[in-house]
Structure 1
Amino acid sequence: MTTAAAAAVTRRWLPSSLRRLTTITTAPHGGPPCHYSPVHDARRPVRPSPPLPGLLPPFAGLSPSVRRRSFSGTAAPQKQRNFPPRPKPPPESEIEESFLKGSGPGGQKINKTNSAVQLKHIPTGIVVKSQATRSRSQNRTIARRLLADRLDDLARGGESRSAVVGEVRRRKKASSAKKSRRKYRRLDEEQHEDEAEEGRQRQEEEEVEVEVEAEVEGRQEELWGEEEERRRRIPVMETTKLQGVPKGRAEE
């Protein structure tokens, strides 16, 4: 076996990480060394080949945000509504805070502990209460938010944030109800059309059945008439035969 053949056999059984070390071997018969192309390691990333001269890469004139958006599967961001800013709660000096026992379902954590929060705004006399959660700290935050909304409604009326948000929700709910009514109205119309079509088909089938029954009855009457006619002809034929026979033979 020559040196090149032995090197090739040895290289065949080497791991991929060591095959690149055996790319240069001595050629047989003392010639120049043979260069073998290295085998690509699957664990190493492949570098993309440079583009041909005169050709631009894809998305060359687009911004990075457009490039990322071209391959992203997320939907386009929805239009942000210009809602009024959230009202801030009044200062603590204008608030009278008290902790009360809750009511309703929830067990002893609600009925036996002072987890409910009640706030009173001293200048206006507005009172709000919150027992949305079992946590007193969360109820304090929620109560202050409710008090801020109440004061915003009192100060701005229909232009307050809660009024604007409520109007948007009301319109959305009305639109959804309208679409639902339109959908069920269309379904009812389709159902009525199907019922009318079934009624027409049933009526046509009944008419066909009536025609078939009438035809069958007419045919039966014809058969019965032929049978009666045949029965009437039999005695006449016998009488005719008897009249044509001589008297002596008739007596016999």
Structure 2
Amino acid sequence: MTARLDIPAHLRPPWRHLPGLAALGQRRLGPPALHPLTRPAALGLWLFALAVMHAGARLLGHKSAMLSVTGPRTCRPRRAACAAVFLLGTAAAVAWLWLPLQAADYAVAHHHLPPLVAYGAALTAVLALICEVGNMLLHGRAVFPASITVRRLRATGGTWWEAGTFAAQDNDPVSAGRLLHTALALADTHHIGLVAVPNSPATQRAYIRRGFRPGPVHPGVLVRTPQP
């Protein structure tokens, strides 16, 4: 089962922090950009994903640290906001694919730019987004064991959420620790179990220190039952 819970406002990062958090997530969690020319597309996809999670009150933040949760049911206004941000991001992606070709048409017709140069640059921008979408989908297979674990645990009873997208700046471990401590306290208050996939050995050690243990489905998936 899932619990209806709106993440408290003081645990949600301001909207203006999302670009910086997107850069942090792309750098720390990946996947790495396929090429320096495709990095803006990779950052844009990260920003899109974080904006959707933020609109749905599923993104927690403290200074340079962030953590997302999957599982809580949200109220209808939150679901509407999430859908609106998703549609806006989708429209931006379509514009990314359409505008370079229109700009190339204009450059060839009005500025006599060689078609090979104009359309070559346009196709580079278009292919950058397409390739990075494929890159993220390919690396997104890592979340499947966590999702399977969540479904199996929910079948046994209790409320279980999936915690992911946990990252912080290397020089700010305090923010990471405080965010994780606050998030776990919130989960314990509402008797919520958590499932997480560590993205590094340091993150795995941090989770284990806070009560996570190897899950029943996959050794790389950690599980934490609610603490009294």
TM-score tier after normalising by the smaller chain length: under 0.3
Which one has a bigger Cα radius of gyration?
1
TM-score, normalized by length of structure 2?
0.21
Highest relative contact order (Cα 8 Å, sep 6+), 1 or 2? 2
